[in-house]
């Protein structure tokens, strides 16, 4: 099967993108990273992509008068590369139906919480403020609603009494670097897909999100 043409969108450091690059280069994900795109000029992820030989683009949202115009430009760039799957790896913009409809059921996002709990920003601080006993991350298909799309896979971490935002962020990020490549691997295999808001895995509808296990991690070794 030919590699799937993917694009990675990010706004900052790009560590989740780096994890995907790593697994694509090692043949764990049957994909070709066609381009990497950021809405921030100074995003460090641009350097990561360039070092990997991936074409990079900057589409600054503040240069467009409307969200529609911004998203239409995103689409124009991605269409030039014949992108089939879009990965949101720390892309800090809410996407509307303009973009979502164009890539319907072909956009995955990584979010640092156990959705549906704590959508939106500042999840680690909110979890600590609420004195939760567990936290984690989720990969989901993207819809127009903020972090509301159907969840594919999650990974949990315990919240320790000694945790501060930095320590909790670091442990959750380690899990993000596993669940996002796994979801991409399955999607590019055709093992995972979404239809009319229902996620299918191995031909069966997922009733609850997959929980990361040791056997899943071995798929990336």
Q: Active-site residues: which are they?
A: 111
Distance (Å) of CA 183 to CA 84, 97, 106, 203: 15, 23, 12, 15
Residue 45 and residue 38 in contact, taking contact as beta carbons nearer than 8 Å = yes
Question: Going by C-beta distance under 8 Å and a sequence separation of 6 or more, which residues neighbour residue 79?
Answer: none
CB atoms within 10 A of CB 175: 20
């Amino acid at each position: 099967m030919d590699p799937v043409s993917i694009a990675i969108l990010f706004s900052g450091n790009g560590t989740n993108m780096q994890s995907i690059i790593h697994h694509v280069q090692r043949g764990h994900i049957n994909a070709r990273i066609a381009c990497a795109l950021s809405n921030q000029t100074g995003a460090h992820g641009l350097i990561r992509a360039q070092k990997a030989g991936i074409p990079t683009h900057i589409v600054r949202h503040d240069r467009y008068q409307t969200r529609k115009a911004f998203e239409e430009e995103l689409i124009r760039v991605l269409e030039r590369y014949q992108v089939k799957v879009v990965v949101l790896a720390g892309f800090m913009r809410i996407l509307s139906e303009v973009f979502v409809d164009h890539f319907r059921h072909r956009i995955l996002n990584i979010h640092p919480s156990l959705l549906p709990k704590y959508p939106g920003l500042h999840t680690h601080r909110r979890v600590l403020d609420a004195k939760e006993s567990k936290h984690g991350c989720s990969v989901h298909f993207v819809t127009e609603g903020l972090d509301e799309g159907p969840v594919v896979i999650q990974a949990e971490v315990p919240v320790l009494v000694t945790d501060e935002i930095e320590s909790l962020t670091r442990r959750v990020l380690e899990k993000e670097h596993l669940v996002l490549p796994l979801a991409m691997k399955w999607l590019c295999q055709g093992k995972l897909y979404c239809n009319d808001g229902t996620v299918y895995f191995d031909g069966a509808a997922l009733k609850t999100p997959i929980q990361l296990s040791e056997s899943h991690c071995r798929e990336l070794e």
